[in-house]
A = this chain, B = another copy of it.
């Protein structure tokens, strides 16, 4: 059987630095665990724009469709802020999500014990936090038509975007959430603004339908998204799995991520329908952005990107044990007090660079 294939798109800012450490880890799995990947690399975001005048070349898109999983670093940077909307770095990422039809974005918000004091929230509120946010990723206001900026009749302009969801778009992401809940604590909370938006009413009804017809054993609740933001801040451990749309998911998952206090630690997986080989289309990326302010200085924390690879092992390659091995190694390193700059708090620790963190994880493996 052919080796599983991985396409690495390191992207912009700290993307290439953190990805360099992941590549060493991939190498380790090949050497020590006999888990060998066919790895190819390509450009995305600003880096792709610099090379091709667009944030994702068609050939790269085609490659992404063929591989078993894509690993992405980060896109964007101030240098590209002046670009036209259609060629901004983000469009490369959005194109991947859309054309690969990666409708379920899994964003765990997990608080690592060794880092609980980093949170701006009290330790007793966040210690042990372990939420899974499932964000719809291929529809809603991100992709709805009509969209654009148009002249109006009074010499001004108006901007339009369209929030649009279909029955099937809602049902399939709801299924992802219920499946995950079954393997976790069996609870799903769905968030929308059904009190204000008809698309939110449809969302609520369809999630309820999937529950009643297919997952009656999972506990389902509904919450308005504004209350959701409040409850995340007030008492985040009340949640197990949260399912929500693309735009609410963008904001709520970032809010949840920040609760943990260590953004540099959080991975994500974006999954689509199963391919011919049974594996889902998949893209893995850290939740943090390209952090242009620290790019190229060896300061970035590679753990979020490393844990994204762990998610790939689990969700794309059915290697749950290898994923756990990698996650445990990360925990060991943290418990040992190994710290990149972003993790350096008042209680100190051993300061390391990006590659120093990579060394430590490899040693722990």
Binding site for B on A (CB under 8 A): 76, 85, 88, 90, 94, 120-122, 125, 141-142, 144, 147-149, 152, 154, 156-168, 193, 195-203, 225-227, 229-230, 232-235, 247-248, 250-252, 254-255, 257-259, 263
Contact = CB atoms under 8 A, between A and B. Distances in A.
Given A163-B141, A167-B152, A233-B233, A158 B202 contact: yes
Nearest to A139: B158
Contacts of A196: 90, 94, 141-142, 250
Copies of chain A in the complex: 2
Contacts of A85: 198, 201
A201 B167 CA distance: 30
Contact of A120 (B148, B233, B255): B233
Given A120-B122, A229-B251, A168 B156 contact: yes
A123 to B, nearest CB: 9
Contacts of A232: 255
A188 to B, nearest CB: 19
A102 B197 CA distance: 19
Contacts of A144: 160
A209 to B, nearest CB: 11
Given A94-B196, A120-B233, A159 B251 contact: no
B229 A199 contact: no
Task: Determine chain A's interface SS by DSSP, over half rule.
Answer: helix
Contacts of A149: 198-199, 201-202
B160 A88 contact: no
A254 B226 contact: yes
A300 B255 CA distance: 28
B247 A193 contact: yes
A200 B47 CA distance: 24
Contacts of A200: 159, 161
A233 B250 CA distance: 15
13 contacts: A76-B195, A88-B195, A120-B121, A141-B141, A141-B197, A152-B166, A156-B168, A160-B162, A161-B198, A196-B250, A226-B251, A232-B255, A233-B233
Given A120-B234, A157-B202, A247-B247, 11 more contacts: A76-B195, A120-B122, A142-B197, A152-B166, A156-B167, A158-B165, A158-B167, A159-B163, A159-B165, A226-B251, A229-B252
Contacts of A154: 168
Contact of A197 (B161, B166, B193, B199): B161
